[in-house]
Amino acid sequence: MKTDAKQQIMAMNGDEAVAYAVKQSNVDVVAAYPITPQTIIVEKFSEYVANGEVPTQFVCTESEHSAMAASIAASATGVRAFTATASAGLALMHEMLFVASGCRVPVVMAVANRALSAPLNIHGDHSDAMAERDSGWIQIFVENAQEAYDSIIQAFRIAESKNVSLPILVGLDGFTLSHTLENVTTLVDDVAKEFVGERELPLVQTHEGKSAPFKLDPKNPMTMGPIALQNYYFEFKRQQEEGMKNALSVIEKVHAEYAELTGRSYGNGLIEKYQLDDAEFAVVCVGSTAGTLKTVVDEIRAEGIKVGLLKLRTFRPFPVQEIQKALAEVSLVAVFDKSMSFGGNGGAVFHEVRHALYDNAAHPLIVDYVYGLGGRDTNPKEFKKIFHELHQIARSKRVEKLVSYIGLRE
């Protein structure tokens, strides 16, 4: 893809890439609380603020709960708000995540995905974000620091799109991405700023009978976050679902526009297919593991085994149709889950993929592999072994274990 946009290569870890993208996105308010492995984002951003490099109000709150409350309130006042967290911080925000989506405020949040206590563990897995899958947030998971940068820039456009108007979470794997230095190609400030644009507010009807921009404004008083009981609560939840549905095409559209501008794309923005077209069986994963698996797919392909990868970039809204289409021809699907749903017979991604494929005319066999909890490394060799195992399952068409664990000591 050709691009005219002027870009520059910078050496940054994932957290720095996020902070840099936020710096370029004309963000008005950042309200956040530090937590490993997200800390670098707030530290880096604090430097920008301290050096006068950004015209942003930085509110260093006393907790993540307040960080989210302040982000919601700032966004409700009509400005652009960003926050970042991880693990326990996201869990502490839990209540407010539902408030954010229910209040339809397009807050953008980076989550440096990390395990949840107990036992305490600071390393990367997806337990934190997966526990928030029903919170009404759009969720995008990235593969590398480059995608973290690109996705944050896109996130503002997606969240603020008038027919979406929902908060968005961009997940980057703790330490694997947050702390690992990479070359990141960045837009120059003006181009990034222009791409993100100004926040446009939808018009709503107020109790004074006026049609006014959706914000707390003494000129057009409106009541936000009221109590809605049996007679209306359900309707508001249905509205949110519509926003989510609309997000599917908006994510694709914004992604395509960005690809046009930068020359970088991640599938269609919802899913990314790798060697999937003629694959006999497929693996599905979320996040940085996709990078490892692409290499493993190449190596397995070199052995003459037809395997493909589906990288799930957008987890919420779940791109059901794209997945149904992408996996229509395979006889076996293996899902790699970096979190547990205790007692749920498999991880969150597994549930979702299996649910999506139920409607396919020919059901493939679907198995789940839970891996990497608490940051445990899963190396290409181990994945290779799994791929060979999968090859056998695909041949025998017999699944002995629905859910397996990679690299776990018995």
Partner 1 sequence: MATTQEWKFTAKEIAEKPDLFLPGHRACAGCGPANALRMIMKATRGPTIVTEATGCMEVVSSIYPYTSWAVPWLHTAFETSAANASGIDAALRILKQKGKLQEHVDVIAIAGDGGTFDIGLQALSGAVERGHDFLFVLYDNEGYMNTGIQRSGGTPMGAATTTTPAGSVMPGKLQHKKPIADIMVAHNMEYVASATPYYWKDMLQKVRKGLEVEGPAFLHVFAPCPRGWRSESAKSIEYEKLAVESCVFPLYEVVNGQYTLSTPSKLISLAPQKKRPVTDYLKGQGRYRHLFNPKNKYVLDEIQRWTDERWTILLKKAEQNA
Partner 2 sequence: MSSKDKGWKEIAPAGVTPKSSVGFMTGDWKTYMPVRDLEKCTTCMMCVLYCPEGCIRWRPEMGKIEIDLSFCKGCGICANECPTKAITMKLPEKEE
Residue 73 binding partner 2, by CB under 8 A: no
Of 43-51, 187-195, 202-210, 263-271, which segment contacts partner 2 by CB under 8 A?
A: 202-210
- One symbol per residue from 23 to 42: x for binding partner 1 (CB under 8 A), - otherwise; what is it? -----xx-x-----------
Residue 239 binding partner 2, by CB under 8 A: yes
> Residues 120, 181, 228, 256: which binds partner 1 (CB under 8 A)?
228
> Residues 11, 228, 256, 328: which binds partner 2 (CB under 8 A)?
228
Residue placing its CB nearer to partner 2 in the complex, 63 or 239: 239
Of 7-15, 234-242, 310-318, 377-385, which segment contacts partner 2 by CB under 8 A?
A: 234-242
Residue 213 binding partner 1, by CB under 8 A: no
Residue placing its CB nearer to partner 2 in the complex, 213 or 263: 213
Instruction: Please provide the distance, in angstroms rounded to a whole number, between the alpha carbons at the two ends of the chain.
Output: 49
Cis peptide bond N-terminal to 364, omega within 30: no
Q: How far is the CB of 235 from partner 2 (least distance, A)?
A: 4
Give the position of tokens 């990078």. 291
Contacts of 324 (CB under 8 A, 6+ apart): 356, 357, 359, 360
Closest by Cα among 124, 140, 127 to 91: 127
Q: How far is CA 25 from CA 39, 105, 175, in A?
A: 20, 17, 24
Residue 63 binding partner 2, by CB under 8 A: no
Cα 303 to chain centroid distance, Å, stands at 33
Residue 260 binding partner 1, by CB under 8 A: no
Closest by Cα among 13, 45, 44 to 29: 45
Residue 205 binding partner 2, by CB under 8 A: yes
What, of partner 2, partner 1, none, does residue 249 touch, CB below 5 to 8 Å by kind? none
Cα distance between residue 209 and residue 115, in whole Å: 48
What, of partner 1, partner 2, none, does residue 214 touch, CB below 5 to 8 Å by kind? partner 2
**What DSSP assignment string belongs to 78-132?**
TS-EEEEE-HHHHHHHHHHHHHHHHTT---EEEEEE-PPSSSP--S--SHHHHTT
Contacts of 24 (CB under 8 A, 6+ apart): 153, 186, 187, 189, 192, 193, 196
What residues make contact with partner 1 under the rule CB under 8 A? 28-29, 31, 55-57, 59-63, 65-67, 69-79, 81, 95-96, 99, 103, 207, 216-229, 231-232
What residues make contact with partner 2 under the rule CB under 8 A? 102-105, 165, 202, 204-208, 214, 222-226, 228, 230-232, 234-236, 238-239, 242-243
